[in-house]
C-alpha cells in the first residue's frame, strides 16, 4: 500500500501535458473485439484501468502490443489490439469486479461471437449504476439475456437485428454498448435519447474508421447501418477533459498560473464557464487552455448534468475549490446518488460543508489545514489532492489505487509545476 504526501501552500505555475481520455480509451479498446483485423490506438494513457481492461481482453484472446509512453515527457502510448481469434467469451468476476467499464465487452462479444458471459461489474462505489439499460438495448436487438450466479449471459446465435432503442434516460455506457453492438447487426438501428458526451463521438469516429456506418453521434439520435464486418484502423484517443478540468482547478485553488497543453477545449465549455464564474482568467486556443488565478475564488452554483452540462466527474474538484471561496456555494449532484463521500474527508481538512439531499452547501473558509484523509473513489481522490495542494501543512491521501485508475503520472505532473508531493509506503 502507498499514500500520497502533499505539503501544500505552493502556487502552481508552468505547463501540464494533458493525457488521452480514460473514459474514451476503455471503450475504444473494447471496440477491438468487433474485428478480426488489428486496431491501433494512439495516445493511450498509462493507468490502472487500462491495465485491467488489457488483462480482460488478453483473457478473451486479444493479443496486445505496446509502444512508447514509458516515462518522461512522452505523450501517451500506442497499443495495437489483435482480436483475430476470440478464444473465450467469458469475462470473469476476478477481473470485471475491478472496473465497471468491463461491461462494455458485452455488446461487442455478442455482436461478433454470438454469445457472451460477463460478470456483473464493479468500480467506484458512487451509486447503484444499474446495467438494466445495457441489457434492454441488447434484448431489443434480439439477444437472449439471462442473469445467473452474478453473471450476464447473452446469446444471439443468428446475429443481432437492427431495431429502435429508446432510452428512458441518458446513459453513456448503455449508449456505447448499443452503438458497438449495432455496427454488426442486420439492418438499421436507431438509438433515441442517446448520450451526447464527446467520448460517444470519439467512439463513433473510431468505429467509422473501421468501416461502420454511423450518423448522428453527439446528438440525441444515432443511426447505425449494420455491416457484415469491420476492418482494422488507427485512431488517436481524444484528450481527457476531466483531467484538464482537474488541473485547471489546481491553478485556481493554489493561486497559480497553468497552461494545459492538448486540453481539447471544444469539449470543456461547461467547465470553462465554471472556472470563469469562480473568478479565474481563462484563455483558450486550438490546443491549450491557460488558467490563471486572480485571488480567492468566487462562490459557485453548479448542477451536474449530462453533456453538455457540468460534468459529474468534476464535481469533487470544484467542491474543493468552493471550500476556499469567498462566500457560500451550492453544488447539486443529479447523476449519482452517492457521490458526496468526499465531503467528510474535505471537512477533516477544515472545509465547512452541509449536505441536504442532492445538494451540498459549501461555506468558504479562510484556510484549510493538512490532515490524513482517505480516497473514496476516483474523482473524490483528486478533489482531496487539490485541497491538499492549497492546505497549510501536510496532507496524506490513503488508498491511492483510486487515483491510479484515472490520473496518469500525477506526482510527476504536479512536481513539474512546483508542487511538493511524493508517493511513499503507507
Provide the annotated binding site: 22-23, 100, 129-133, 313, 335
**Which residues neighbour 177 within 8 Å (Cβ) at sequence distance 6 or greater?**
103, 104, 106, 107, 134, 137, 138
- In angstroms, the CA 173 to CA 183 distance is 16
How far apart (Å, rounded) are the C-alpha atoms in residues 189 and 100?
25
Q: How far apart are CA 287 and CA 40, in angstroms?
A: 23
DSSP codes joined into one string, 87-124: ---EE-HHHHTT-GGGGGGHHHHHHHHSEEEEEPP---
The DSSP 8-state label assigned to residue 267 in this structure reads G
Hey, is 218 helix, strand or coil?
coil
Backbone angles phi, psi at 45, to 5 degrees: -75, 155
347 is catalytic: no
**Could you give the CA distance from residue 278 to residue 294 in angstroms, rounded to a whole number?**
9
Give how far the C-alpha of residue 422 lies from the chain's centroid of Cα atoms, to the nearest Å: 24
Query: What does the DSSP 8-state code read for residue 84?
Result: S
Annotated binding site for UDP-N-acetyl-alpha-D-glucosamine: 100, 129-133, 313, 335
In DSSP terms, 65 is beta-bridged to: 80
Q: Is the peptide bond before 308 cis (omega within 30 degrees of 0)?
A: yes
From the candidates 124, 206, 314, 347, which is the catalytic residue? 124
Cell readout for 227 is: 455491416
Nearest to 189 by CA among 111, 245, 114: 111
The residue with cell 462566500 is 327
Helix axis angle for 48-60 and 22-31, nearest 10°, is 10
- Alpha-carbon distance values, 29 to 123, 230, 284 (Å): 18, 14, 30
Length reported for the chain: 426
User: Residue 323 class from Cβ within 10 Å (0-12 exposed, 13-18 middle, 19+ buried)?
Assistant: buried
Give catalytic residues, as residue numbers: 124
Amino acid at each position: 500500500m502507498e499514500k500520497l504526501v502533499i505539503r501544500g501552500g505552493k502556487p502552481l505555475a508552468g505547463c501540464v501535458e494533458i493525457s488521452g481520455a480514460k473514459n474514451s480509451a476503455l471503450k475504444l479498446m473494447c471496440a477491438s473485439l468487433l474485428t478480426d483485423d488489428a486496431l491501433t490506438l494512439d495516445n493511450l494513457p498509462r493507468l490502472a484501468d487500462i491495465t485491467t481492461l488489457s488483462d480482460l481482453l488478453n483473457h478473451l484472446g486479444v493479443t496486445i502490443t505496446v509502444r512508447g509512453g514509458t516515462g518522461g515527457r512522452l505523450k501517451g502510448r500506442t497499443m495495437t489490439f489483435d482480436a483475430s481469434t476470440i478464444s473465450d467469451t467469458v469475462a470473469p468476476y476476478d477481473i470485471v469486479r475491478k472496473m465497471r467499464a468491463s461491461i462494455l465487452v458485452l455488446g461487442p462479444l455478442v455482436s461478433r461471437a454470438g454469445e457472451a458471459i460477463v460478470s456483473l461489474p464493479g468500480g467506484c462505489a458512487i451509486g447503484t449504476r444499474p446495467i438494466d439499460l445495457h441489457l434492454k438495448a441488447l434484448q431489443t436487438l434480439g439477444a437472449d439475456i439471462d442473469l445467473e450466479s452474478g453473471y450476464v449471459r447473452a446469446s444471439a446465435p443468428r446475429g443481432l437485428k437492427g431495431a429502435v432503442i429508446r432510452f428512458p434516460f441518458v446513459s453513456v455506457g448503455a449508449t456505447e454498448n448499443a452503438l458497438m453492438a449495432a455496427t454488426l447487426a442486420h439492418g438499421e438501428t436507431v438509438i433515441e435519447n442517446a448520450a451526447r458526451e464527446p467520448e460517444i463521438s470519439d467512439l463513433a469516429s473510431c468505429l467509422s474508421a473501421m468501416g461502420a456506418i454511423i450518423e448522428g453521434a453527439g446528438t440525441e439520435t444515432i443511426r447505425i447501418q449494420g455491416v457484415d464486418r469491420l476492418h482494422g484502423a488507427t485512431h488517436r484517443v481524444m484528450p481527457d477533459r476531466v483531467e484538464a478540468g482537474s488541473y485547471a482547478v489546481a491553478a485556481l485553488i493554489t493561486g497559480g498560473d497553468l497552461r494545459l497543453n492538448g486540453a481539447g477545449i471544444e469539449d470543456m465549455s461547461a467547465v470553462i464557464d465554471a472556472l470563469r464564474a469562480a473568478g479565474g482568467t481563462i484563455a483558450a486556443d486550438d490546443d491549450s487552455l491557460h488558467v490563471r488565478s486572480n485571488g480567492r475564488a468566487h462562490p459557485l452554483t453548479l448542477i451536474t448534468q449530462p453533456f453538455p452540462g457540468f460534468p459529474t466527474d468534476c464535481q469533487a474538484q470544484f467542491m474543493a475549490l468552493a471550500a476556499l471561496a469567498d462566500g457560500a456555494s451550492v453544488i447539486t449532484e443529479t447523476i449519482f446518488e452517492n457521490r458526496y463521500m468526499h465531503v467528510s474527508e474535505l471537512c477533516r481538512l477544515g472545509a465547512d460543508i452541509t449536505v441536504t439531499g442532492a445538494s451540498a452547501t459549501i461555506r468558504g473558509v479562510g484556510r484549510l489545514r493538512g490532515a490524513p484523509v482517505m480516497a473514496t473513489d476516483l474523482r473524490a481522490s483528486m478533489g482531496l489532492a487539490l485541497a491538499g495542494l492549497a492546505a497549510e501543512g501536510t496532507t496524506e491521501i490513503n488508498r491511492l489505487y483510486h487515483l491510479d485508475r484515472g490520473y496518469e503520472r500525477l506526482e510527476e505532473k504536479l512536481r513539474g509545476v512546483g508542487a511538493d508531493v511524493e508517493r511513499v509506503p503507507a
